[in-house]
Structure formats: structure tokens, C-alpha cells
Amino acid sequence: ESSGPDWHVVSVTSLLPDAVCKPKRAVSNSSALSVVHRHAPCSPLQARGGEPSHAEILDRDQDRVDSIHRLTAGPSTADDPASASKGVSLPARRGVPLGTANYIVSVGLGTPKRDFLVVFDTGSDLSWVQCKPCDDCYQQHDPLFDPSQSTTYSAVPCGAPECRRLDSGSCSSGKCRYEVVYGDMSQTDGNLARDTLTLGPSSSSDQLQGFVFGCGDDDTGLFGKADGLFGLGRDKVSLASQAAAKYGTGFSYCLPSSSSAEGYLSLGSAAPPNAQFTAMVTRSDTPSFYYLNLVGIKVAGRTVRVSPAVFRTPGTVIDSGTVITRLPSRAYSALRSSFAGLMRRYKRAPALSILDTCYDFTGRAKVRIPSVALLFDGGATLNLGFGGVLYVAKKSQACLAFASNGDDTS
Amino acid sequence: IGILGNMQQKTFAVVYDVANQKIGFGAKGCS
């Protein structure tokens, strides 16, 4: 329910997600994979009672953001003991250490193909699944991928360009060993390999022959029961790059609202007619990230008073795996002030992890929430739906779904 | 740096047009 473009009027009973899956297929172009949230009722990985709490999700989100900040801060952080303890001193091409993403897709690997549920992540490059034989694998949703059962599997030799690009510096019995250490200390090690990747429902026209991926045999951390992870970053080894010759450069996705729909991940760059574009920015020190220029914010239709330089100087990364958008301190303060000023009628609630502007909607039938829009270089505007404005942990704790990066002079 | 997280990307079609070096957002992208 809406009340003009500047406000969201929402029934309080609809604030929390449905407890059951109501699959609504997303519309997309060809070679699209269905996307569901890892912890939503539509997820095949959902473990009843085993999902993390809201506070845990947000704490993990901060681990990922800390990792992105360390990477983009450049070599000056290399002497920081905290940085070293998280493994970010590893060469960048050893894997982009950014933790797991929150959305999953199903992919087919090998010949005959076997289906695997993997998280997808625009903040990292190398794709991997757990493989047999495995020294130390966590419990996953499907049986392990068995290279010996695939007629198209081959190990990547140490001298291959794909191995040299990884800079893993490890070679065993002529096989290339890879390692990715993520920002939350999750880790995968294994052999770099090639096999046929099938995208979509099993048609040979949607196959990538010789897809390079990691065959993990020593994996620990916060991967849940996912069978692996697929990277969509900008490096040559990512799924997006390897699929470019077949589908064209670029890709698109729609992340579903958490419970009642499925989204999609589609390779190739076809865009919906209503899409608004902004420039994709590249930084040589972190070439795997997709940067763009956020230049302003509107609350209830009015531009928040922040100089565009506050956004432009540090820059902005778009990431499918970070949950909460992080803003420069001055921008967040201005957003919070505007938002809170328009929410004065509601009782405040305690902070939730990194979210400090929370409200208690107990006893109310409807709430009226100011809209938030993000403005990008070139005029593209992201008019956020209600779900992008408030993070609703419970009726008594609904929080502005933005956070500060902390001291933006640091 | 700022980070545009997935809470704010939900339900939009997010387009990574690498050939033309641009990123697009289409409202109601899942429906």
C-alpha cells in the first residue's frame, strides 16, 4: 500500500516475512538461474531452527564490511595486526576474502551433470564446490562432487595461465592448489579444476565447457550447508568473465524479497526497459570490485543536505553479499536525522547490532514510513521500497536499514 | 568507501553492463 511517492504506508501485520514459501517465478531472459535467500522459507538450504539470529546476521555483515574496508584501504593496513589475523595480507589474486553471500542458485557441474546449491557473490571471483576425496569438508546440502564420476573433469596443471593468475604459490603432484581465505576467517583450499558447467535446466545450449573452478577439499567456516560459492567479480576467473564469450559481457540479477518470491541471476547484459544507469567505476587497487558513484540521498522526496563530495571522495562498492548499505559518517548522520525527524510519532526501540535507529510498532495497525531514494552519478535514482528502508527484526524492533562506516576521516 | 548492500538492491533488476561500463537498476525487477 502506498501513499504517494514520498511515503510508505504499510500494514504492521505484513512487516514480518511469511513463514512458508510462496514461490513466484521471476521473469528474466534466457540462461537465468532462480535466486532465493539462503535463510528464507523458499531456500532448499533452510534448516529449521538453525538459521542465525538477526544480531548474528548483522554482526557477520560487519565482518564482511571490515574486510572490504581493509582491502580498499590499500597496503598501508598490511602492518595492522588485526588485518593480518584476518588473512587480508594474502595476495589479492589468491582469492578475494569477502565472506559468503546470502543468496543461492542451483548450478550443474560435470558430465553427467550433478546439481549443486551455491551462494553467489559479486564481491569475489573464484567459484568452488566441495569435492571428493575431502580431507576436511563441512556438511553440505548435496553429496560431494566426485571428479572421478565426471568424464569431462580435469585438473588444471601448475603451469597453466589460470593457475599462475591465482598466485597461490602452491603446487602438488603437478596439480594447482588454490586457497581463498574470507574476511570472517572462513576458508577453502583445493585443486583448481575444469569441468562442464550447466546453467539453467539441463540444456546443452546452456553449457560452459572447461569452466575453471576450485575443487575444495579443506573447507571450514560460515558456509552453512551450501555446496560451494560462485564468484561474479571482475577478475578473469569469475563466472561472469568465463561466461562472457558465450552470453556476452555482463549479467543481471534480481534479489527477491526475503520469503514470498524467487529472483533470478541471468548471464548476458540484457536490461529491462525501465532500467536507469550510472557509470561503473574501476579502481586499480581493487579491480575485482564493482564501484559506482552515489552522490545523494532523498528522504520523503527531499534531498538530504550532504555535499556530493562526502560520497564521491571515498567511493561506493555495490555488493550482493553485504546486507546493510554503509554510508560515510556525515552522510549517515544526515540521513538518520532527516528520517528520525519524520518518524517522531513512533516510539523508539533499542539498537540492533549495527542498526541504531529503531522503532517499536507494537499495537499499531499501520505505519507510515518516509521513502528513501539513492541518487547516482548521471541521474539514476534508486527509489527504495519499504523493504529497503526498514530492517524488521520484530514488530517491536524495526530499524533504519543503513549504517555508518564510522569515522570517515580514518 | 560506502557499500551498497543487498537490502537496498532487493526487488530491483540490477544490471552489470560490463561492455559499456555501466550499472543499471530497474524497479520491480522480480515481477
Which pLDDT score is estimated for A407? 62
- Give residue A390's pLDDT: 96
Residues 1-31 of B with CB under 8 A from A: 1-31
- A248 contacts on B by Cβ (under 8 Å): 19
pLDDT value for A316: 95
A357-366 residue pLDDT tens: 999 999 999 9
Residue A158 has pLDDT above 80, yes or no: yes
- Chain-chain contact of B19 with A72 (C-beta, under 8 angstroms): no
Are the C-beta atoms of residues A302 and A339 closer than 8 Å to each other?
no
Active site residue A285: no
Give the separation between CA A219 and CA A138, rounded to whole angstroms: 7
User: Which entry of A121, A125, A189, A217 is annotated as an active-site residue?
Assistant: A121
Share of chain A above pLDDT 90, in %: 55
Nearest CA in chain B to A269: B17
**pLDDT at position A28, please?**
57
The pLDDT-based confidence of A243 (bands split at 50, 70, 90) is very high
Give pLDDT, residue A224: 82
- Based on the residue annotation, tell me whether A18 is a catalytic residue of this protein: no
Most confident of A11-15, A111-115, A165-169, A177-181: A111-115
Q: Name the residue with higher pLDDT: A276 or A249.
A: A276
Give the containing element (helix H, strand E) for A335. Answer: helix A329-342
Gyration radius (Cα) of chain A, Å:
22
Whether residue A98 has pLDDT greater than 70: no
Q: State the smallest CA–CA distance between residue B29 and chain A in angstroms.
A: 6
**Residue in this structure with the C-alpha cell 563466472, named with its chain if needed:** A239
Q: Given a cut of 90, is residue A379 above it in pLDDT?
A: yes
Report the pLDDT value the prediction gives residue A67, as an integer from 0 to 100.
80
Per-residue pLDDT tens over the stretch B1-26: 899 999 999 999 999 999 999 999 99
CA torsion A395→A401→A406→A409, rounded to 10°? -150
Q: A206, A217, A235, A319: which one is catalytic?
A: A319
Q: Which residues lie below 8 Å from residue A1, measured CB to CB, with a gap of 6+?
A: A9, A10, A11, A366
Give me chain A's average pLDDT, please: 85
Cβ of B1 within 8 Å of Cβ of A314? The answer is: yes
Residue A239's pLDDT band, with cuts at 50, 70 and 90, is very high
pLDDT value, residue A181: 82
Residues of chain B positioned with their CB less than 8 A from the CB of A269 = 15-20
In this prediction, residue A176 carries a pLDDT of: 93
Name the minimum distance, in Å, from the CA of A275 to any CA of chain B. 4
Residue A203 pLDDT level (bands cut at 50, 70, 90): low
- C-beta atoms surrounding A15 within 10 Å: 18
Residue A267 reports pLDDT greater than 80 = yes
Bridge-partner residues for A218, per DSSP?
A: A136, A189
Terminus-to-terminus CA distance in chain B, angstroms?
32
Closest residue on chain B to A386 (Cα): B8
